[in-house]
A = this chain, B = another copy of it.
Amino acid sequence: MVTKVNNEFLDIFELAKNIFPLNRSLTGNGVRDTLELIKDLIPEVNVYEVASGTKAFDWTIPQEWNIESAYLEGPDGRKICDYKQNNLHLVGYSEPVSKLMTLSELQPHLHSLPDQPNAIPYVTSYYGNTWGFCITEIERSKMVDGVYKVHIKGSKVKGSLTYADVVLKGKSTKEVLFSTYICHPSMANNETSGICVLTFLAKWVAGLSNRFYTYRFVFIPETIGSIYYLSRHLKHLKKNVVAGFNVTCIGDERCFSFLPSRNGNTVSDRVSMHVLKKMDPNYKTYKWSNRGSDERQYCAPGVDLPIASIMRSKYGEYPEYHTSLDTLGAVVTRNGLLGGLNALKESVMCLESNYFPLIKTIGEPQLSKRKLYPKTSIKSNQELARIYLDLTTWSDGTKSLLDIAENMGVYMLEILPYLMILEENKLVTLNRMPVK
């Protein structure tokens, strides 16, 4: 219990340090350990195990993969590519191996990056039934001819896939969905950042006493995880999810990025752009053709959930991507994580306040009798009254506060207080849906 109390004050960057080194993959103990750390922070989190072989749409839950140790031992007896030192050294889902091979036999199993000679690449072979090691180009060039001992000790056997979710109920059964992935080991922006930001976002949402929407946070392995999750919850999610975000690559300070849903014009897309324009007018916009994470499943034909992506430096678009250079410190920072977290908090606040206001009067309301208009009209004292009148003129019940803010050219959370004053004066009704 003491641990939990301490965790309440755990810093987001400390959490990142804790989960960074774990060997996350589609399955296995690295995933379980990661989820345990999250559950320490959010006790309401549910952790699930799905047996290997279970069907999920076009896919099948794979065997569970765990590694005890893995390395190469050279002719000089020196260990290289030691999984203990960096789990990126081992190709993800490598088969257990124990044999001797010459360097030339070994070469097809080695992966390095000539253009980034000091980087270990991130390579997987989930469905390939093969094995391999990843190594920096510099180290590879030092490998001498001779016989190497190949050692991969572990198991790839029937077991289970582990994932988690947490649902925080609001006044409405309509849901906002957040999803991140827990299968990428020992890389910071992709993907330690998403797990950390989503954990802290869930903690913050849990503290929003008056939340309107129900919030669902999903921690799954990429692709197979979201496909499994959809296979179990499709009907419920299609009925209830009104907005959502795929959370990935959200921890560096270099930029903000936006990738739309397949639809491209959902409220999630529009809120993302509205928030990012406020936070960073030079944020980068990608297209659906640049997609590459679980939005591929959440927005697939027949699924069509309104899921957008708010990112910092997008996967595939920064030099350290999918290499050992994607580290805490060099790429991901505390400020980077907090900026990403803040963008999602603002998005939540925008969704929560995205009313469809409907004015109750015909013609403008008489602001003066409610002390909302200056006593004496001169040329230049009407800015405040103007905000009230702009709000009321657009409050025809068909436009959301987001629509209205964009018509007015302002950020919606800046005009929200004025809308609340109009509501206190019984001048507008704050509907959640447009009038017909």
A-side residues, CB < 8 A to B, are 57-60, 91, 111, 113, 121, 123-128, 130, 132, 223, 226-227, 230-231, 234, 262, 288-289, 291, 296-297, 299-303, 321-322, 358-359, 361-366, 368-369, 373, 375-379, 389-390, 392-397, 407-409
Contacts and interface: CB of A to CB of B under 8 A. Distances in A.
A235 to B, nearest CB: 11
Contacts of A366: 58-60, 127
A362 B300 contact: yes
Given A227-B363, A296-B389, A361-B58, A301 B397 contact: yes
A126 B369 CA distance: 11
Given A124-B377, A289-B390, A395-B301, A57 B130 contact: no
B296 A378 contact: no
A232 B301 CA distance: 45
A55 B321 CA distance: 68
Q: Is the interface of A mostly helix, strand, loop or mixed?
A: loop
Nearest to A408: B289
B364 A227 contact: yes
A296 B367 CA distance: 14
Counting every copy of the chain, the complex holds: 3
Contact of A393 (B130, B262, B369): B262
A363 B300 contact: yes
B363 A297 contact: yes
A111 B301 CA distance: 65
Given A361-B58, A366-B58, A407-B289, A377 B301 contact: no
Nearest to A113: B379
A362 B123 contact: no
Nearest to A129: B375
A289 B391 CA distance: 11
A301 B375 contact: no
Contacts of A111: 376, 378
Contacts of A369: 127
Given A227-B363, A365-B58, A123 B300 contact: no
A362 B127 contact: no
A393 B121 CA distance: 28
Nearest to A295: B393
A216 to B, nearest CB: 18
16 contacts: A57-B361, A58-B362, A91-B376, A113-B379, A121-B378, A123-B377, A127-B369, A230-B362, A230-B363, A234-B362, A288-B393, A289-B407, A300-B362, A300-B364, A301-B393, A321-B379
Contacts of A291: 393
B130 A376 contact: yes
A73 to B, nearest CB: 23
Contact of A128 (B227, B297, B359, B376): B376
Contacts of A393: 262, 288, 291, 296, 299-301
Given A59-B366, A363-B227, A376 B300 contact: no
Contact of A375 (B125, B300, B303, B322): B125
A359 B322 contact: no
Residue picked from A234, A366, A392, A396, most chain B C-beta under 10 Å: A366
Given A58-B361, A58-B366, A362-B234, A378 B300 contact: no
